[in-house]
Amino acid sequence: MAKPYPSELVQRVTLRDGARVVMRPIRPEDRQIEKEFVQGLSDESRYFRFMSALRELNDTMLNRFTQIDYDQQMALIAVVCENAQETEIGVARYVVNADGTSCEFAIAVADAWQQRGVGSMLILGLVEAARARGLQIMEGIVMAGNHKMLGLMNAHGFSIRSEPGDASVKHLTKLLAVSPTDAPRISKSAAADVN
Ligand SMILES: CC(C)(COP(=O)(O)OP(=O)(O)OC[C@H]1O[C@@H](n2cnc3c(N)ncnc32)[C@H](O)[C@@H]1OP(=O)(O)O)[C@@H](O)C(=O)NCCC(=O)NCCS
């Protein structure tokens, strides 16, 4: 069953170059900006994201990408606002796997906004959302030649391994259980709550 819009995941973020971005769960009303976002990606970015020569999202894909239940699927978009008009500059999503405890991610950032921290922001947001949902593993398949993505995910603690029998892709995995380095931060804030 669909969950209510998770407004606790809405965040205003200032990028390191000062640009202001809102990261928020996608809504059905975001159909048009999602469509324009994918259309505006370079051929290479679109290929790395969809692993096919897809040029634009068809209606079925647009429905699937924007009408999510915030439970089995989550999508965080990054938007900038100019003249009261929102433009989508990135999206990261996960879909829960059949095992109910792991999920598969996908991410894309508009070419003009790459290398500015948007990808990191979206991955961090997605990992936190998956943890809060109680998921234990985040995984995904990335083209072996997608060095930007492999570097980014390595920096965020994803382990990278080859796919047996397919040298063209890599399998990325991150355990979402709280790591020992997170523990002191969490126990400190928990302590603050009880005092
Ligand atoms: C891969 C992609 C999402 C990265 O988005 P981005 O907004 O450029 O990412 P960021 O600006 O946050 O990070 C980019 C750089 O910072 C590095 N970085 C980010 N966070 C870091 C951290 N905490 N510590 C160290 N390095 C970090 C990354 O490794 C990367 O550096 P590199 O390119 O020199 O290796 C983007 O290039 C893209 O959309 N590509 C097309 C679609 C795609 O490939 N999707 C993946 C398959 S689903």
CA dihedral 38, 48, 22, 129 (to 10 degrees): 120
Task: For residue 113, report the distance from its CA to the centre of ligand 1, in Å.
Answer: 11
Round to whole Å and give the CA distance between 79 and 90: 7
Count of CB atoms situated within 10 Å of the CB of 175: 13
Query: Residue 132, Cα to own-chain centre: how many angstroms?
Result: 15
25 lines ligand 1 (CB under 6 A): no
Nearest CA residue ID for atom 25, ligand 1: 155
**Ligand 1 atom with minimal separation from the 121 CA:** 12
**Tens-digit pLDDT profile for the chain (195 aa)?**
778 999 999 999 999 999 999 999 999 999 999 999 999 999 999 999 999 989 999 999 999 999 999 999 999 999 999 999 999 999 999 999 999 999 999 999 999 999 999 999 999 999 999 999 999 999 999 999 999 999 999 999 999 999 989 999 999 999 998 755 554 443 433 333 332
Round to whole Å and give the CA distance between 155 and 152: 5
Round to whole Å and give the CA distance between 103 and 134: 11
